[in-house]
Every structure is written in structure tokens, then in C-alpha cells.
């Protein structure tokens, strides 16, 4: 009998390569930890912005706009203007 057929070995168990599966899971877990740490860092930056007198809600909007294509931003701004005029704003 081959003792290397344990789930810890590089062999397949039930059609699954255990080492590859473990590697994928561990990589995702590390990235989730990094994301959690980054989320905390971002929260700290927004707290810093707020304490400096900036409006965090507006900063979030600007960040969202910067992610979009310029044409998409222009289209949204045009529609917003049209809707405002339709409502007498």
C-alpha cells in the first residue's frame, strides 16, 4: 500500500488535488485578511479627512466618479440636470 494517498499529500482524493485546493483556500484567506486591514486603513483616512473639515460623503462621491469613464459621468450629470429642471430645482 502507498502511504502517500493521505489527503495531506499532493495526490488526488476523491478526484480533488488536496494540495492545490489547500493552496487556493489559503490564498483567499490571506487576501481577505489584507482586505480587512486595508478597510481599516481606509476608515482611518476618512476619519482624518473628517477631522480636517472635509465632507466624507462628498469625497466618497468623487472617488466613485473617478472610477467611471468620463462619458458615463457626463451622461449622469446631464440626466441629473434634466431631472432637476423637471422638478423645478
Provide the residue-wise pLDDT of the chain in tens; the chain has 89 residues: 444 444 445 567 777 889 999 999 999 999 999 999 999 999 999 999 999 999 999 999 999 999 999 999 999 999 999 999 999 99
pLDDT score recorded for residue 43: 97
Listed by start position, the domains of the chain span 1-52, 55-89
pLDDT score recorded for residue 16: 81
**Do 39 and 32 contact (CB within 8 A), yes or no?**
no
pLDDT score recorded for residue 10: 57
Phi, psi dihedrals of residue 61, rounded to the nearest 5°: -65, -40
Phi, psi dihedrals of residue 47, rounded to the nearest 5°: -65, -40
Which segments of the chain are extended strands (E)? 12-13, 16-17
**Cα distance between residue 69 and residue 16, in whole Å:** 42
pTM for the structure as a whole: 0.63
Amino acid at each position: 500500500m502507498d502511504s502517500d494517498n493521505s489527503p495531506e499529500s499532493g495526490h488526488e482524493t476523491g478526484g480533488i488535488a488536496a494540495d492545490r485546493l489547500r493552496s487556493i483556500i489559503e490564498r483567499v484567506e490571506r487576501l481577505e485578511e489584507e482586505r480587512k486591514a486595508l478597510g481599516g486603513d481606509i476608515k482611518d483616512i476618512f476619519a482624518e479627512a473628517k477631522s480636517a473639515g472635509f465632507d466624507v460623503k462628498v469625497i466618497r462621491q468623487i472617488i466613485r466618479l473617478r472610477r467611471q469613464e468620463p462619458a458615463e459621468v457626463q451622461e449622469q450629470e446631464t440626466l441629473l440636470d434634466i431631472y432637476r429642471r423637471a422638478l423645478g430645482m
